[in-house]
Structure 1
């Protein structure tokens, strides 16, 4: 699959913005202040998607007695998507992911709920997992969402968190969703993938050291090979179909490749697509990048196919 000429410029713009920080020590406050900035650019990205969606008032769940906010983006009364945002467990929010959540709402004619889970290093594992489970249970029990009409999705750290959440949900005996969608999921906080070193210079956003430093903020004293931390080490038996998209050039490529291998080994239906010369979570750029639009169209096809197959 040949890369588009637009990908050449998007990759370079992302590289200019992000690579100068890849080898530096991570300051979580700087990440929170600057990820998704400037706001004007974020608004333009949202408009460029062409999405016409409603941004509903914040929803909330309670986890451990604490109230957690989340944003809902709705295009129609179709399926429901629980979307867990990325950000290395230290940054980003429902607002930074508004353009991507809105594009999914439009494409899938869905309501997309994006919870604002608690972030590290102030809240290390298992806070994000507890919050994700709380949001999942809220949709099932309070919003009465039919699991056969529910999609769980996420990007980067959120993609890994989505998988860890579903491992924990299955182990609790909770119903699983109709399908799972992950974009460049971070599934191995033990940082053992070969692509960490192979793509450390090629990746437009991160180096291998970036991933290891970010993992330390979230892990605390947790075992990095625990399936609820790093779902790569989990047993995916009984999981619903998965769609996994990643870039051939990103450091987290092998987190997706190995996830696919392990899930298929226990009978899970997994679709993996690797895209050349695009940055990490390139789906943000659907207003300008053909590869992003194709990824979202592939997501639309995948979701519709598996919603039909799960109809009662």
Structure 2
């Protein structure tokens, strides 16, 4: 588990990734750090729809790798479907910056969108994949606990939500997950957790109290080791009275939504996610 190796290789192959991002038709622009914004990218549709939702999108990468640039094809595919805009912060990575650095950065990004950009929270959706999906859930818990204006909805793709590594799918799917084994997940978790308690809800949202959170969408694969991270979050949220949309796909890889250009299952997931966003941003107006 070498974070430098992972960072060097998670964004490859770069050429096809650039082509997939370009094919979305979205516009990508670097946004430098300032006024609480930790740095990152602004992604928009060239002719934005006036009623389109705004995304605060948190990229995955195991908390140790990836960036807004590695996730351009996925975020661009969402923006293409919403005809709206997305803000993708560059949060600090472990192990150099363990918990709570990433959470602090995305909390600052959320406040920046409200206080500086003037984004209406009833038009704002928190979204993320893998580690970013878990981070979006932790951010939603922090927003509620701080008493800040809540977003309209939460969208998570294959979220990583349990740093204690207790999900049964970590063993059950280790032989068929295309990206990880249960042991990989547990070793990566230690890099992010550092000296914190891994069962804290801000670290492992699966152990959180979901009462009062916005509507939640969870899409995951039946064959990935993180299957139960998503399923258990959806179950706990539903038990707390949160409107939940849980959908599982068989025989697709972790965060298959990257491959909308070639996978019909990716296009289906993204279309359903955008429908969910529109439903709840309309309902909150």
Is the TM value for this pair above 0.5?
yes
Cα contact 1:61–1:135 (8 A) shared by 2? no
Q: Deviations over 1:212-271 (max 9, x none)?
A: 010010111111100000011111111111110000000000001110110001100000
Q: Give matches, 1:249-288, under 5 Å.
A: 249-288=223-262
**Candidates 277, 280, 284, aligned match of 1:303:** 277
Moved more, 280-289 or 51-60: 51-60
Cα contact 1:61–1:134 (8 A) shared by 2? no
Find the counterpart in structure 1 of residue 41 from structure 2.
71
**Candidates 27, 30, 36, aligned match of 1:54:** 27
Find the counterpart in structure 2 of residue 18 from structure 1.
none
- Structure 1 counterpart SS, 2:268: helix
Do structure 1's residue 40 and structure 2's residue 15 form an aligned pair? yes
Cα contact 2:32–2:39 (8 A) shared by 1? yes
Find the counterpart in structure 1 of residue 69 from structure 2.
95
Q: Give matches, 1:1-312, under 5 Å.
A: 26-47=1-22, 50-61=23-34, 68-75=38-45, 76-77=48-49, 78-311=52-285
Q: CA deviation at 1:305?
A: 1.0
Q: Distance in 1 between matches of 2:135 and 2:77?
A: 21
Number of equivalent positions: 281
Cα contact 2:38–2:108 (8 A) shared by 1? no
TM-score by length of 1: 0.88
- Structure 1 counterpart SS, 2:57: strand
Where in structure 2 are there 5+ consecutive unaligned residues? none
Name which structure has the greater RCO, CA cutoff 8 Å, separation 6+. 1
Superposed CA RMSD in Å reads 1.1
Moved more, 33-42 or 148-157: 33-42
- Structure 1 counterpart SS, 2:212: coil
Cα contact 2:173–2:224 (8 A) shared by 1? yes
Q: Distance in 2 between matches of 1:124 and 1:62?
A: 23
- Structure 1 counterpart SS, 2:28: strand
